[in-house]
Amino acid sequence: MMLKNFFISMLGALTAFWISIMLLFILGVVFAAGTIVSAIGGAASVAVEKNSVLYLPLSGVIEERQTTVEFTSLINQEARPVALDDIIRSISAAADDDRIEGIYLDCQGASAGVATRLAIRKALEDFKKGGKWVVAYADSYTQGDYYVASVASEIYLNPIGAVDIHGLGSLIPFFKGLLDKLGVEMQVVKVGTYKSAVEPYIMTAMSEPAREQTLVFLTNIWNQITVDIKASRGVSVEALNQMADSLVALGNGSDYFVENKLVDGLAYQRQVTDKLKEKVGLKADDALRSVYFGDYLQVADVPHEKSNKNKIAVYYAFGNIVDHGSQGISAEQMVPDITDLAEDDDIKAMVLRVNSGGGSAFASEQIWEALQYFKSKGKKLYVSMGDYAASGGYYISCGADRIYAEPVTLTGSIGIFGMMPCAQQLAQNIGVSISTVTTNNGNAVFPNVFEPMTPTQRSAMQREVDNGYELFTRRCAEGRGISQDSIKVIGEGRVWDGLMARKLGLVDALGSLDQAVGDLAKDMKYTAYQVVSYPNPDKSFWDIISDFDRQMKVRAIREELGAAYPLYQEYKAVAGMERIQARIPYMIVE
């Protein structure tokens, strides 16, 4: 009887325990769902009063577009990753909104490519054309933030701050010394004198061709930056170069930046807020009517007139090009997407927005073919290039009816390479020995990371790379209406800035995504049209919950590695790459 009572008591306790767990889980889900619904619903209650200021902070990493909705971003709008398309849309909408008098640009040190910054700068210029103003402030301006802020109507600096002007440089880490210590040799086959993506793994410093091309495009991009600042601030290009040569941010008092016209005045942030109140007609003790750009987007009018009949698709393709997976530009996901758009009767035209340094050559070809299928349905295809559209990024772009790039876009890099590690020495160093039994001269276990390639295997790999280069250059020649021999002359893996690419015929026009969309609408003879963005961000509640753990891990790695996080991403891309690649080297341009 005691044993029976014991089991009854134990089962009762276990039942109560699991019921409690289930109740807690259900309550947690209900609470989370309530929080999310409240956050989403709360956006609709954002009130934009007359005489308001749009608050636009430049901070964190500015991404091309937010493709997934993070759990934390639903609770706190300002915790969302900053997306370029959100910034541009908010500025465009505010330009036509009588309730918004101006923009407060709070420069906190954003991380972004030069073309991304140029796109924001152009949007602010267009905003000012309607008679509105932009006020910029920073405790200290980074060079990139200052480039954006230089277009502002008024620029203020903290009384003990500085403006950093130092020119452009490229930092490329080389790993051969580390690989030698580990006992790993990278075996490389490639086509293209300038195809330098492999150099960090087989050399300890840049080759002369790589140094030559890098200096050319950096010089051209820096010239564009200085010319733009001169146009906005009246500071000569010569003066800006002198500032860069002398590291002007160090050792000069803040008055120097006022005297040399880089900023209009010195003020603390509180005093800038008071200036904003004056500009909108408020008293010092009134609350500033400001609206965060992310919240404003939820209630702002779309810049383009809605039309259910005339729809232009904008498909965002950014990141590494891969065969499979959910990160970057995945052929596995993008090819079906493009096929669906080709067969969608409501979509008659598309702008492909590319921001990629390339990746898998195989995946690039699959995406190229899908885009040609889209065109075969009698539909227009334009391409808009962001910071990068190089190597594989150019491969997927070259067949478009018209290609737009910013003057500072890095593009071209028409070349192919293959890279395989050989860890024979590493295996010996750690006491690992390998025995193989094969037919056909050992090719049955190829690729074998524990033995170097045989001459036959290396020759076969070179044939594969050569064939890939022939296909790549043929696709470019057909798409651009240029002979294949001419493409090969400007190919060789060489990276070009957008300005040079335009002169060489690799792109058709210099301009932004908005310009590409607008020109496509004119080409389609649309007086009213609707822009529909793809791929659609995944906003399923359950997907957000299931993805939460991955997001937290990525965030933890990013915080732990700090400035080294891009190198970690590069390592992951190289470790998981297909054998044949069309990509540019990882580089930090500052």
Instruction: Check 196, 391, 397, 512 and give the catalytic one.
Output: 391
| β-strand partners of 351 | 314, 382
The pair phi, psi for residue 223, each rounded to 5°, is: -60, -40
The one-letter code for the residue type at 205 is A
- Whether the link from the prior residue into 303 is cis, omega within 30° of 0, is no
Coil, helix or strand at residue 135: strand
Bond preceding residue 535 cis, omega within 30 of 0: yes
Q: Write phi, then psi, for 114 (nearest 5 degrees).
A: -65, -40
Q: Which long-range contacts (CB under 8 A, 24 or more apart) does 33-37 make?
A: 33/541, 35/74, 35/75, 36/71, 36/74, 36/75, 36/541, 36/544
The position carrying tokens 């056909």 is: 440
Task: Return the closest-CA partner of residue 404 out of 513, 329, 533, 495.
Answer: 513
The answer to whether 83 and 112 have CB atoms below 8 angstroms apart is: no
As a whole number of Å, the CA-based R_g of the chain is: 27
Residues 264-294 as b or e (16 or more Cβ within 10 Å = b): bebbeeeebbeebbebbeeeeeeeebbbebb
Q: Which long-range CB contacts under 8 A does 35-39 form with residues at least 24 apart?
A: 35/74, 35/75, 36/71, 36/74, 36/75, 36/541, 36/544, 39/74, 39/75, 39/77
Q: In sequence order, what are the residues at sequence separation of 6 or more whose Cβ sits closer than 8 angstroms to the Cβ of residue 223?
A: 237
Among residues 122, 190, 195, 311, the one annotated as catalytic is: 195
Question: Is the CB of residue 412 less than 8 Å from the CB of residue 390?
Answer: yes
- Give the bridge partners for 582, in sequence order: 359
Query: CB within 8 A of 320, min separation 6: which ones?
Result: 327, 328, 329, 356, 357, 358, 359, 573, 583
Residue 50 appears among annotated catalytic residues = no
Angstrom CA distances, 5 to 2, 247, 268, 588, stand at 5, 83, 75, 71
Rounded distance between C-alpha atoms, residue 278 and residue 160, angstroms = 24
Per the listing, tokens 């008098």 go with 101
390, 333, 322, 394: CA torsion to nearest 10: -10
Question: Is 195 labeled as catalytic in the residue annotation?
Answer: yes
Known catalytic residues are: 195, 391
